[in-house]
Amino acid sequence: MTESERYTVISADCHAGADLLDYKPYLESRHHEDFDVWAATYVNPYEDLLADTADRNWNSERRLAELARDGIVAEVVFPNTIPPFFPSASLMAPAPTREEYALRWAGLRAHNRWLADFCAAARGRRAGVFQILLNDVDEAVKEIRWAVTAGLTGGLLLPGTPPGSGLPELHARVYDPIWAVCAELGVPVNHHAGSASPPLGEEPAARAVFMVETTWFSHRALWHLMFGGAFRRHPGLRLVLTEQGSGWIPGVLEMLDYYHGRLVAAATRADTAESKFGAGLADQMGKGPSEVWRENCFVGASFMRPHEAALRERIGLDKVMWGSDYPHDEGTYPYSREGLRAAYAGLPRAEVAAMVGGNAARVYGFDLERLDALAAEVGPTAAELAEPLKEPPADATSPVFAPGGSVRVW
């Protein structure tokens, strides 16, 4: 790559959704009356969805233009706005009763159908991540098959099973039909931060505890699926952990390897207190955690920081997929070029190319040749991203620019 050549940047973490009333045409008609009643009294709790910039979630032309100005030619599209019958963002609202499940399931299916149209409006540049609920596995499998036929290439958004949800834990065999169909059809299973935390309240302490714990609750999906044997039974299954940071991965893999080795060994010694904890684990899991990570797992490394980029080889160069988190305030827009410089300046160009686009193209099925042509017009140049960022933009809001270590000192 010469200095004038441009990187093909794919954001592996963006968010979108319809305006509230625009979901109605995507609902089955039997739900229209209930929707009218719900929408008439619903109060949106999110300031960013009430601001004059809220249409970034659904205004296709505005979105394409803003992402292009930011150097991004394609995106993986997670949900953002409130789907019908949900009290808040669907990432954080598991259905508590059968009645609520029925309505919320209808609302998520409406979102998925809206998303299929939204992605079709920029075909080849959006990989839509569709939603399911875990209350009815058979219905979830049907929706996965529908989503593939509808062209939603971003894969499945895996809900969490937070304490109090009443759902079986993710390691349970009851979810095997979901893993099986995803492996069969090549559907990535995405687990996004914020989707597995229990409700904690609105007190200052509760909000602080949420910030401390939310990524940990999201990480749980990794060891649940590993120890539950999902990857042994379904070798083609791929798990993507998005907007949960990436610097934690080497240490957690070491910890998981330690427990795996310790418990498998203990199972062979019936006279030890730990033998029961490792009983059957080797047969259920097959390979150890680090090997499963290498073969089946990826990270959506939203607004990646320099200290995380330094761990890229331990994480896996073929695992890291940078994301801008557009249109969120914590995302890098409109300073994604600066964010990329902060994280990747000075790194080998082939490695940067993989992390900013090549890996995401492989996981989500983007046509790189087509996107390269777009990137030749709008992508950041090799010379631009090689230039260290000495000062962050004054009005930048992304954590990648936070003082105290995110920007390299040169």
Contact 400, 32 (CB under 8 A): no
Pairwise CA distance, residues 35 & 39, whole Å: 6
- Please give the order of strands across the beta sheet that includes 189-192: 9-16, 72-79, 126-131, 155-157, 189-192, 239-242, 297-302, 320-323
Q: Is the pLDDT of residue 184 over 90?
A: yes
| CB crowding 43-56: b at 16 or more within 10 Å, else e | eeeeeebeeeebeb
- Sign, CA torsion 58/62/64/69: negative
* Domain count across the chain: 1
Contact 35, 24 (CB under 8 A): yes
DSSP state of 203: S
Q: Is 248 a member of any domain?
A: yes
Tell me the mean pLDDT in the region 33-49: 92
Q: Is 352 a member of any domain?
A: yes
Q: Is the pLDDT of residue 280 over 80?
A: yes
Q: List phi, psi (to 5°) of 242.
A: -115, 145
Q: Is 160 a member of any domain?
A: yes
Expressed as residue numbers, the domain containing 145 is 9-401
How much of the chain exceeds pLDDT 70, in percent? 96
Least confident range from 189-198, 242-251, 364-373: namely 189-198
Q: Is 237 a member of any domain?
A: yes
Q: Is the pLDDT of residue 24 over 70?
A: yes
Q: Is the pLDDT of residue 95 over 80?
A: no
Higher per-residue confidence, 221 vs 50:
221
pLDDT in tens, 114-132: 999 999 999 999 999 999 9
Q: Residue 128, exposed/middle/buried by CB under 10 A (0-12, 13-18, 19+)? A: buried
pLDDT at 410: 27
Q: Is 4 a member of any domain?
A: no
Q: Is 406 a member of any domain?
A: no
Q: Is 408 a member of any domain?
A: no
pLDDT in tens, 187-244: 999 999 988 888 888 898 988 998 888 889 999 999 999 999 999 999 999 999 999 9
Pairwise CA distance, residues 364 & 190, whole Å: 11
Q: Is 1 a member of any domain?
A: no
Q: Return the CATH number at 72.
A: 3.20.20.140
Nearest by Cα to 129 from 369, 365, 353: 365
Q: Tell me the CA distances in angstroms from 150 to 115, 116, 135, 255, one per residue in order.
A: 10, 6, 23, 40
Least confident range from 6-10, 199-203, 262-266: namely 199-203
Contact 295, 313 (CB under 8 A): no
Pairwise CA distance, residues 50 & 54, whole Å: 6
